[in-house]
Amino acid sequence: MVRTLLVNLCRLVLATVFILSGLVKIIDPRGFSYKIDEYAGAAGITDFHLAHASLLFAAAVAMLEFSAGIYLFFGIRRRLTSLVTLLMMTVFAALTFWSWRWHAVSDCGCFGDVIHLTPAETFFKNVVLLLLCLPLVRHPRAQVRFISEKSQWTIGLYVWIYGAALCAYNVYMLPVMDFRPYHIGADLLRAMQPADAGDVRYTHTFIMEKDGERREFSLEDYPDSTWTFVDRRTRIEGSAKALPPIHDLSIVSPSTGIDTTEALLSSEGWKFLIVAPDLREADDGVMERLAELTDYCSHYGYPLYCLTASNEEDIRYWQDITGAEYPYLLADRTPLRTMVRSNPGLVVLKGSTVKAKFPAIGLPSETELTDRADRLALLNPDLETHLRMLLRLLLWFVGPLFILTLLDNLYRLIIHIKNKKRIMRKHIVAGNWKMNKNLQEGVALAKELKEILAAEKPNCDVIIGTPFIHLATVADLLKDSCIAVSAENCADKESGAYTGEVSAAMVKSTGAEYVILGHSERREYYHETPAILKEKVDLALANGLKVIFCIGESLAEREANKQEAVCKAELQGSVFHLSAEQWKNIVIAYEPIWAIGTGKTATAEQAEEIHAFIRKCVAEVYGEAAAQETSILYGGSCKASNAPELFGKEDIDGGLIGGASLKAPDFKGIIDAWK
């Protein structure tokens, strides 16, 4: 109980963190890819961004993280998911440890731009999350499933489709939620005011080149025009906490080197900024739209600039291929990439307020730019709150999933109805009296049961398994009833000098129809090995008896997650050698040893899971049709109160009942579960 609680608590915390951090990355895959470039750069890999490697990698990690969160939340593929989660947390923890100790990157990027954590904070967060993974990996099956095993594939698959679609949308359009200080509605001048500017200082330097020589200059010693501009750097000194949201934006005129940020932003009216951090890599399919935009701006007298971090050569290259005629301004690559996640993108300002943003693929066309900026809805979009967008994303997740699940269930229902018509699998409730009741008591119980079931016909086959001493009398008593009789054992020898043994032929001669073989009590206390049981099964069938063959794992085996291997080995050891014809006389009883006579029942889900596995094993040997016709009973503390839930499962065809078969009303209560 405590264990289940602990495992599920850890799992829900991990699920929440993975879903949130996966989602913010899916919403802004480009932002995450820049972060990956930053990590790669710190590790000395500088060309990782080439051929979109970092963007693809970012999208893959984001989707994996989000999907792992959803899988954890619903309890899909619990063992695999727990292992993948552990693996991811190990990698994240190692990465952030490196980043913390060796100052690789200043912000981990775990939650995109939503929450900023220092490397130390991130490392400790990751260590805690890593520890939370351990109970999950140790007890994956203790994670309660929120959906049935059969329908886990729908969510399992859909979450990847959803993640990929959302990721692609955010890459090609702009992030559907903008947590950056340049979001629509933001006043850039205000965002540049430090809350407490006391100890923050910025220094801007310029990398210039002349005759192959590169040098760094400050604003004070800015060189003459014989030097060519290459790059610029902004250094921030002082406490990071005092930094304003925008602290690294400095817009400079390339010809004079003068900082025009303040002048540009504080001027009244509309202005259009084509933001292209890197002109060499910019999407050049936008030429026509940019030309239309240039016409629009000059028609209404709106200033239009191209903001870039490219060098002169790249600017010239861009001018050549696009024939662009707007002036260029320079700024650092980082603030430009933060401003708009597109290369190029368009940022429309009114005064210093961001009014609209467009990605390369969605630049406005001349058919849309038909009026003054104030009158165009396109340039004055409604502000979408984060909460509304989150609800919309949730709806897009739940809506199609709901339809998919509905269709899946409908399909399953049709198959089920079809199979029901085709498969006449027997439902059976079998009693196993074990070593209880003397002859008189046993006969009395059989008589009582006979009368009860004569008055109210059962909806399933009923069998009672009695000690040898009762067999002949009880079988005779129940001759004309609906109750069949079973022995609890038979010898592994045909006949002869085996004092105390009872042969299969003798059992048959009493009028009994069945024999229970392979019960765990006989395996454990009387050392019946798979080889001995194989002999018994062969003799029972040869003498016209049907066999209820028991299999099941011990507690230690279940805790080691070996239940499937154990059950399969028991079947292989004693019954899978039978011919298809002989197999028709076999009923399987799955009895987890830890549940027999202990009051502990396997949950209906646990039982169904292994019953389905057993049926799959039978199908592998005897084919799907034979497997569908094999009755597989559950045994182990089965009683009237839990029988309906157990028998309600698709692969559970009844029960083998010990303690609760010793009183007629209790046994009848279980039989009634089939009503």
For ligand PGA, the closer of residues 273 and 646 by Cβ is 646
Min dist. Cβ of residue 602 to ligand PGA (A): 11
CA dist 49 → 35, 172, 296, 505, 672 (Å):
11, 17, 35, 79, 67
For ligand PGA, the closer of residues 341 and 470 by Cβ is 470
Residue nearest to ligand PGA (CB): 658
Min dist. Cβ of residue 662 to ligand PGA (A): 9
Are 208 and 215 in contact by the 8 Å Cβ rule? The answer is yes
Q: Is the Cα dihedral 157, 159, 164, 166 positive or negative?
A: positive
Confirm whether 591 is a catalytic residue.
Answer: yes
Confirm whether 441 is a catalytic residue.
Answer: no
Taking CB under 6 A as the criterion, the residue among 432, 473, 563, 630 binding ligand PGA is: 432
For ligand PGA, the closer of residues 277 and 552 by Cβ is 552
Taking CB under 6 A as the criterion, the residue among 69, 359, 552, 659 binding ligand PGA is: 659
For ligand PGA, the closer of residues 96 and 432 by Cβ is 432
Are 335 and 254 in contact by the 8 Å Cβ rule? The answer is no
Residue 505 CA, distance from chain mean position: 56
Decide if residue 515 touches ligand PGA (CB under 6 A): no
Min dist. Cβ of residue 484 to ligand PGA (A): 16
For ligand PGA, the closer of residues 22 and 658 by Cβ is 658
How far is residue 119's CA from residue 125's CA, in Å, rounded to a whole number? 10
Min dist. Cβ of residue 387 to ligand PGA (A): 53
Which residues in the 547-606 window bind ligand PGA by CB under 6 A?
591, 596-597
For ligand PGA, the closer of residues 342 and 631 by Cβ is 631
From the CB of residue 197, how many other CB atoms can be counted at a distance below 10 Å?
A: 12
How far is residue 31's CA from residue 561's CA, in Å, rounded to a whole number? 42
Look at residues 197, 159, 186, 188 and name the one whose alpha carbon lies nearest to residue 71: 159
Min dist. Cβ of residue 548 to ligand PGA (A): 9
| Residue 540 CB burial class (10 angstroms; 0-12, 13-18, ≥19) | buried
- Residue 589, beta-bridge partner list: 550, 633
Residues contacting 139, CB < 8 A, separation 6+: 3, 7
CA dist 524 → 26, 515, 520, 537, 553 (Å):
55, 18, 6, 18, 12
Are 457 and 485 in contact by the 8 Å Cβ rule? The answer is no
Look at residues 85, 75, 65 and name the one whose alpha carbon lies nearest to residue 155: 75
Find the Cα–Cα–Cα–Cα dihedral 139, 142, 146, 152, rounded to 10°.
Answer: 50
Min dist. Cβ of residue 547 to ligand PGA (A): 15
Find the Cα–Cα–Cα–Cα dihedral 322, 327, 331, 334, rounded to 10°.
Answer: -30
Look at residues 301, 220, 244 and name the one whose alpha carbon lies nearest to residue 268: 301
For ligand PGA, the closer of residues 326 and 594 by Cβ is 594
For ligand PGA, the closer of residues 63 and 657 by Cβ is 657
Which residues in the 617-656 window bind ligand PGA by CB under 6 A?
635-638, 656
Look at residues 361, 343, 358 and name the one whose alpha carbon lies nearest to residue 280: 343
For ligand PGA, the closer of residues 111 and 433 by Cβ is 433
How far is residue 252's CA from residue 202's CA, in Å, rounded to a whole number? 15
Min dist. Cβ of residue 573 to ligand PGA (A): 20
Taking CB under 6 A as the criterion, the residue among 658, 668, 671, 674 binding ligand PGA is: 658
Q: Which of 247, 519, 609, 611 is catalytic?
A: 519
Give the count of residues interacting with ligand PGA (CB under 6 A). 13
| Three-state DSSP state, 354 | strand
Min dist. Cβ of residue 556 to ligand PGA (A): 18
Q: Which of 65, 553, 570, 591 is catalytic?
A: 591
Min dist. Cβ of residue 450 to ligand PGA (A): 21
Residues contacting 311, CB < 8 A, separation 6+: 228, 229, 230, 231
Are 660 and 667 in contact by the 8 Å Cβ rule? The answer is yes
| Residue 293 CB burial class (10 angstroms; 0-12, 13-18, ≥19) | buried
Residues contacting 129, CB < 8 A, separation 6+: 13, 14, 17, 89, 92, 93
Min dist. Cβ of residue 660 to ligand PGA (A): 6
For ligand PGA, the closer of residues 175 and 442 by Cβ is 442
For ligand PGA, the closer of residues 81 and 520 by Cβ is 520
From the CB of residue 265, how many other CB atoms can be counted at a distance below 10 Å?
A: 18
Which residues in the 368-427 window bind ligand PGA by CB under 6 A?
none
Tell me the two tokens of residue 486.
């079973």
For ligand PGA, the closer of residues 239 and 598 by Cβ is 598
Residues contacting 298, CB < 8 A, separation 6+: 304
Are 275 and 251 in contact by the 8 Å Cβ rule? The answer is no
Greatest Cα pair distance in the chain: 118
Min dist. Cβ of residue 549 to ligand PGA (A): 12
Min dist. Cβ of residue 575 to ligand PGA (A): 18
In 218-286, which residue ranges form alpha helices assigned H by DSSP?
261-266
Contact positions toward ligand PGA, by CB under 6 A?
Answer: 432, 591, 596-597, 635-638, 656-660
* Residues designated as active site: 519, 591
